[in-house]
Amino acid sequence: MKALITKPLNDGSAGMRFALSLPFVGQVTGIYRKRLVKTRGWKIEHLSKMVALHLGKRTLYLEQLRNRKTVRKFTKSFAE
């Protein structure tokens, strides 16, 4: 069963925060961002807590570790 939960970014930029549940993989969380002007090229960047996939003006950030300290957790009430 796949479940995709999205939430808009709170900084006014085009994009979303997402959580995707996949069988045999678990929950994948991250950020999708679309830039209007600046391009980041085509590359994979390893950050301290995330992996960034730069695809031109679009970037997909995938979290490597579970989110335990911040308030931006996804809940069931958000999906309803």
For 6-27, give the DSSP string: EEE-TTSSEEEEEEEEETTTEE
pLDDT at 70: 61
Domain carrying residue 40 = 3-68
Structure tokens at 20: 């995707």
Domain-located, residue 75: no
- pTM equals 0.69
d(CA 72, CA 30): 11
Give the tokens for residue 39. Answer: 């391009």
Structure tokens at 54: 């730069």
Assess if residue 40 is contained within a domain.
yes
Rounded CA separation 59/79 (Å): 24
Number of domain units in the chain: 1
Please say if the pLDDT value at position 69 is more than 70: no
pLDDT tens digits for 17-58? 888 877 777 778 888 888 888 888 899 999 888 899 999 988
